[in-house]
């Protein structure tokens, strides 16, 4: 009778470990196999330098922002950041490789605020001017970040869903002024 070269207990352990190894390799490799759904096309030259941008991202960008001609692309991790100007405002728009918009930030002035938002802010900050307005659109949300100022103070105000929150208030000429008492949420 032939005796096995590997004792039965070791044979079971070996089989068990090999099975675990193959299952682990299968599980780990599956998600990576799905990443190759797109193909990387030739680099698209944009504003004097070359950034490799997926063709579907460029196509979606052109569809959403047809009037833009001077766009600067940069890579932000795996995503693509487009910076450009349009209609007197500056934009930063982040796209995924699948051409989905992650967020859109628009930098503007008081005339870019919706009338109802502008009136609500002016009711709270009667003597203040609104020099800077930033609109952030992300995940179905629209958030307005507004700077208001008068002769001695300025404040950073956040508006979302008709709710106004004073994020920070500063006194002009005070270095490193921190949040002031009385920061309000309305």
Q: Which two tokens stand for residue 67?
A: 């009037």
Beta-sheet strand order (sheet of 163-171): 72-76, 79-86, 89-95, 101-108, 129-138, 141-149, 153-160, 163-171
The whole-number pLDDT of residue 151 equals 93
Predicted confidence (pLDDT) per residue in 41-57, tens digit? 434 444 445 688 999 99
Tell me how long the chain is.
Answer: 186
pLDDT band at 147 (very low <50, low <70, confident <90, very high): very high
The whole-number pLDDT of residue 174 equals 75
- Averaged over 46-71, what is the pLDDT? 84
Predicted confidence (pLDDT) per residue in 85-118, tens digit? 998 899 999 999 999 999 999 999 999 999 999 9
pLDDT band at 15 (very low <50, low <70, confident <90, very high): very low
CATH for 109-186, options being 3.10.450, 1.10.10, 2.60.120, 1.20.1300:
3.10.450
- The burial of 93, by beta-carbon neighbours within 10 Å (0-12 exposed, 13-18 middle, 19 or more buried), is given as buried
- Sign, CA dihedral 80-81-85-90, equals positive
Q: What is the dihedral of CA 49, 90, 141, 66, to 10 degrees?
A: -70
The whole-number pLDDT of residue 38 equals 37
The whole-number pLDDT of residue 51 equals 81
Domain positions in the chain are: 37-107, 109-186
Q: Do domains 37-107 and 109-186 have the same CATH topology?
A: yes
CATH for 37-107, options being 1.10.10.10, 3.90.420.10, 3.10.450.360, 3.30.300.30:
3.10.450.360
97 neighbors 77 (Cβ within 8 angstroms): no
Give the C-alpha separation, 102 to 77, whole Å.
13
**pTM of the model as a whole:** 0.67
Give the C-alpha separation, 152 to 170, whole Å.
9
Residue 81 clears pLDDT 90, i.e. is over it? yes
51 vs 161: which has the higher pLDDT: 161
140 vs 176: which has the higher pLDDT: 140
Q: Give ∠ CA 120-126-130 in degrees, rounded to 5.
A: 75
Q: Give the Å distances, CA to CA, from 128 to 72, 113, 151, 152.
A: 35, 15, 8, 10
> What's the mean pLDDT when you consider all of the chain?
77
């Amino acid at each position: 009778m032939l005796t096995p070269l590997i004792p039965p207990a070791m044979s079971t352990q070996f089989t068990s470990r090999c099975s675990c190894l193959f299952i682990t390799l299968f599980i780990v490799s599956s998600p990576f196999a799905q990443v190759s759904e797109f193909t990387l096309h030739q680099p698209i030259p944009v504003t004097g330098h070359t950034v490799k941008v997926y063709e579907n991202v460029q196509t979606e960008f052109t569809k959403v922002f047809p009037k833009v001609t001077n766009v600067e692309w940069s890579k932000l991790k795996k995503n693509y950041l487009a910076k450009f100007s349009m209609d007197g405002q500056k934009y930063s728009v982040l796209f995924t490789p699948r051409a989905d918009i992650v967020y859109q930030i628009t930098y503007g002035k008081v005339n870019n605020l919706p009338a109802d938002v502008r009136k609500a802010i002016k009711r709270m900050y009667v003597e203040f001017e609104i020099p800077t307005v930033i609109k952030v659109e992300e995940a179905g949300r629209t958030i307005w970040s507004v700077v208001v100022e008068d002769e001695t103070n300025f404040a950073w105000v956040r508006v979302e869903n008709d709710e106004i929150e004073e994020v920070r208030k500063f006194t002009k000429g005070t270095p490193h002024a921190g949040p002031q008492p009385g920061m309000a949420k309305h």
